[in-house]
Amino acid sequence: MVAVSLLLPNVWSFARVRQWRNPLQRASSVVSRRSFSPLSSRNINTGLQSNYSDKAAEAQIPVEQSEIIFIGTGTSEGIPRVSCLTNPIKKCTVCDKATEPGNRNRRSNTSILLRYINDLGRYNILVDAGKFFYHSALKWFPMFGVRTIDAVIITHSHADAIGGLDDLRDWTNNVQPRIPIYVAKRDFEVMKKTHYYLVDTSVVTPGAAVSDLQFNVIKEEPFIVHNLEVIPLPVWHGQGYRSLGFRFGNICYISDVSDIPEETYVLLKDCELLIMDALRPDRSSSTHFGLPRALEEVRKIQPRRTLFTGMMHLMDHDKVNEDLAKLKDTEGLDIQLSYDGLRIPVIRPLIH
């Protein structure tokens, strides 16, 4: 399997972060900087690398290499569905396949881990910790040698994005003192109710050991996580409900979206890798892009490569990918479905 290489900038190589009165002006300026210029075609290969069932491939990603790991690529309920496996009348082909060891239709809650290496060290930056986080971490962290969680960035406050925050106690009790959480104010207000004991630890029974989380409220403007600049990508996740995607260098991640505001498109300019929501093959729902709408957005955004995520059980991995591969010949679109355990190596420029 061949690796995909993408440019990830070094925040410390930028000029000192200036404060702009207009957050959109600030973010647009950051996107257009030299460090975000697209890679030449020789740096983009034709395949993807996953170490999910290929031990030889695992050795191809050196320990000093930054990478993205897809911790989960499914819906809130996950795949396979219990209701499908127990249905005596109707057989669900995708859920049935998902019970097979190593099958790429098996999907947990949507999440990625950015293993980011700079001159100061190695950092594991997690985007979302949903209901299935413990099971995902149990599978992928030992396999890929992930020990610490150095930050968690939250896209929105639904259970499939924050339901696993309590499970972070294993890290703060046994691996590291605390974990910083980066979250929008509206979602932090939800956490005050759903995870009140993690926000206000004074209510915890003496002697109980809960997750030690350091909450950092973010705005819809760039912020810094371990010297990596993160640009929020505001989107709609249903009528009147705001969710955030995030841009890391030339990598844009939008996991939960039903519509993209016009002002967000400028932040997607010159995107090398777009990771985006595509729930089902036939149509969109009120809260998620379906495949037809997702393809429309890819044509508009024009990334060099696209990986869809957040797929439900109507999306058969092999069959949909076979159809998507045809778009490479007909339209020059490089699009595939992601899957749990997929690893994407990331190249960052050297510091001189």
Which residue type, as a one-letter code, is found at position 221?
E
Q: CA–CA separation, 68 vs 309, rounded Å? A: 14
Q: Tell me what percent of the chain is helix, strand and coil, each rounded to the nearest 5.
A: 30, 25, 45
- Given phi > 0 = left and psi -120 to 50 = alpha, else beta, which region is 172? alpha
Q: What is the DSSP string of 276-319?
A: EE---SS---SSS--HHHHHHHHHHH--SEEEEE-B-TT--HHH
pLDDT of residue 76: 97
Within 10 angstroms of residue 299's Cβ, the number of other Cβ atoms is: 11
Among 306, 198, 317, CA closest to 252 = 306
What sign results for the dihedral spanned by CA atoms 23, 26, 29, 34?
negative
Q: CA–CA separation, 288 vs 62, rounded Å? A: 36
pLDDT of residue 263: 97
Token reading at 154: 């939250």
Alpha helix segments (H runs only) across 67-145: 82-85, 93-98, 133-144
pLDDT of residue 347: 79
pLDDT of residue 348: 64
346 and 8 Cβ atoms separated by less than 8 Å: yes
Helix (H) or strand (E) holding 327: helix 317-330
pLDDT of residue 64: 74
Burial of 308 (0-12, 13-18, 19+ CB in 10 A): buried
Phi, psi of 143 (to 5 degrees): -65, -40
The sheet that has 223-225: what strands, in order across it?
Answer: 223-225, 228-236, 242-248, 251-254, 273-277, 305-309, 335-337
Q: CA–CA separation, 175 vs 152, rounded Å? A: 15
Task: Classify each residue of 62-80 as buried b or exposed e, where b means 16 or more C-beta atoms within 10 Å of its C-beta.
Answer: eeebbbbbbbbbbbbbbbb
Which domains does the chain carry?
Answer: 11-346 (3.60.15.10)
111 and 141 Cβ atoms separated by less than 8 Å: no
Could you state, in chain order, the average pLDDT of each consecutive group of 10 residues for the chain (352 residues)? Answer: 44 34 43 34 30 41 82 97 97 98 98 94 97 98 97 98 98 98 98 97 92 97 96 98 97 98 98 98 98 98 98 98 98 98 80 20
pLDDT of residue 132: 98
253 - beta bridge partners? 246, 275
